[in-house]
Structure 1
Amino acid sequence: MTSRGDWAQLREDALRDPEAGAAYEAARIRFELGNTVRERREELGMTQAQLARAAGLQQPAVARFEAGGTMPTLPMLERLAAALGMRLRVGFEPADRVAG
């Protein structure tokens, strides 16, 4: 399988498995959260070490989080938000409104 269509079909077929779909969604959430924190940190001109100190974390924890390697707890998200001068907002939205 080398064409883009073949890979897209393979992905679609794999995500029909509920366990694979759940794992994919968890990875997507981790990636989006980490990317958001990294972008804000860079906007502020902060290093990972500076953010870690401000949030009461270790720099490797910030690096893992920004890379999407860990699923954070709500208290960790609150500490990161405060260190970045932001407010954490958590919510739910109907699944049919979410772009896949």
Structure 2
Amino acid sequence: MAERKPWSEKRAEIMSRPDARAGYEAARIRFELGEAVRTRREQLGLTQAELAQRAGLLQPAVACFEAGGTMPTIPLLERLAKALELRLSVTLEPLREVG
């Protein structure tokens, strides 16, 4: 029987692959965008259905977005920002070295 590796070792092995790192980064971005939309929606006291109506979407699309299930386009982010009474700002930041 093969020796079992600790999760930390297995994770490091998986994350060392370029495709895994890119997938992880894409998931992180989706999650952070969804969380920001949900937080702002709740600050405004809106339901998902109300936000969907303001943005010209369906409620399930808002739910999926807030859960990090979709990678939005810039036009969709602009619609959501307007519906949330925000201005969309996109920035590029230098990569930090991971040690």
- Tell me the TM-score normalised to structure 2 length: 0.89
1:77 aligns with 2:71: no
1:64 aligns with 2:64: yes
Question: As a proportion of its length, which structure holds more helix?
Answer: 1
Could you tell me which runs of 5 or more consecutive residues in structure 2 were left unpaired when the two chains were aligned. none
Structure 1 partner of 2:94: 94
Structure 2 partner of 1:46: 46
Cα displacement string for residues 22-66 of structure 1 (whole angstroms, at most 9, x for unaligned residues): 000000000000000001001111000000000011111000000
SS state at 1:96 partner: coil
Measure, in 1, the Cα distance between the counterparts of 2:32 and 2:51. Answer: 18
User: For the aligned residues, what is the CA RMSD?
Assistant: 1.9
Structure 2 partner of 1:14: 14
How many Å apart are 1:18 and its aligned residue? 0.3
Measure, in 2, the Cα distance between the counterparts of 1:7 and 1:46. Answer: 40
**Structure 1 stretches (4+) deviating beyond 6 angstroms?**
none
- Alignment size in residue pairs: 96
Could you tell me which runs of 5 or more consecutive residues in structure 1 were left unpaired when the two chains were aligned. none
Whichever of the two has the greater Rg, that structure is 2
The AA in structure 2 aligned to 1:60 is: P
Cα displacement string for residues 3-25 of structure 1 (whole angstroms, at most 9, x for unaligned residues): xxx33332222111000000000
SS state at 1:62 partner: helix
